[in-house]
Amino acid sequence: MRWIATLLTCCLPIPAMAHPHVFIDTGLEFIVDEAGQLTHVRVTWAYDEFYSLLILEDMKLDQDADGILTEDEQQLLSGFDAQWVEGYNGDLVVLSDGATVALSGPLEPQATTEDGRVVTTHLRAVEGGAVPVLALSAKAFDETFYTAYEVTRPVTVSGPATCEVNRVEPDIDGQLAQMQAFLRTLDADFDLEENDIPLVGENFATEIRVSCPNT
């Protein structure tokens, strides 16, 4: 995913085009009850090395720079990314049979470090009652593409053994071609910061499909 940022910055005709500044390796755990209904989603975010360094320095953690946090430091770090503004969807969209699944804000936030990278987890509850996992899909993305999410960590289902998980990868080349075509329609004086531009984050997101057909 990081090569996309290089391409957008160096190769597109307008350098100001939005491109990722933060990179997060993402993992998802879908928690399903015995009836085959989704009750919770646990999300893992592993931040890139540079952003992790900024966070640790800003919070004055890992002062010995060994990449390992003490228990007290982990407690201080936990929840730093769980202070969400109202209306923020956690950069996660879950659909059940095409309808958006309402999820709570972050619960049980935890944080640690792995090889110098900050890794956090949080739990999100399905609001309004559990939903069937017959045609469930999920995408982790920032629609502005300031943050790039890549689903490289485990995607699992806790619940019935009959549940299946499949991935649908985005058409990166096709989406980049469309973006380049859009930029070529703009004149040199077009101000991307003052005008609406297409929200492209979802176009680069991996879709996770979960089904529990035998429950």
The predicted model gives 149-174 an average pLDDT of 87
- Residue 36 covered by a domain: yes
Asked whether the beta carbons of 133 and 41 are under 8 A apart, the reply is no
Q: Is 180 exposed, middle or buried (CB count within 10 Å of its CB: 0-12, 13-18, 19+)? A: middle
Q: What is the strand order of the sheet 92-96 is part of?
A: 99-100, 92-96, 136-140, 207-211, 164-168
- Residue 193 covered by a domain: no
Nearest to 151 by CA among 84, 108, 210, 106: 210
- Residue 104 covered by a domain: yes
- Residue 136 covered by a domain: yes
Q: Which pLDDT belongs to residue 186?
A: 66
Q: Which pLDDT belongs to residue 198?
A: 62
- Residue 54 covered by a domain: yes
In tens, the pLDDT along 24-41 reads 999 999 999 988 899 999
Model confidence band, residue 133 (pLDDT cutoffs 50, 70, 90): confident
pLDDT > 90 fraction of the chain, expressed in percent and rounded: 57
Model confidence band, residue 168 (pLDDT cutoffs 50, 70, 90): very high
Tally the domains of the chain. Answer: 1
- Residue 147 covered by a domain: yes
Greater model confidence, 182 or 58: 58
The token pair at 113 is 């470090």
136 vs 209: CA distance, rounded Å: 6
Greater model confidence, 5 or 193: 193
93 vs 62: CA distance, rounded Å: 33
Residue 182 has pLDDT above 80, yes or no: no
Question: SS3 for 195?
Answer: coil
Residue 4 has pLDDT above 60, yes or no: no
- Residue 107 covered by a domain: yes
Single-letter residue type at 95: L
79 vs 60: CA distance, rounded Å: 15
- Residue 164 covered by a domain: yes
Q: Which pLDDT belongs to residue 105?
A: 97
For tokens 């017959």, what's the residue? 134
Asked whether the beta carbons of 112 and 119 are under 8 A apart, the reply is yes
206 vs 45: CA distance, rounded Å: 15
Domain around 103:
22-170+201-211
Alpha helix ranges (H) inside the chain:
2-10, 49-58, 71-77, 172-184
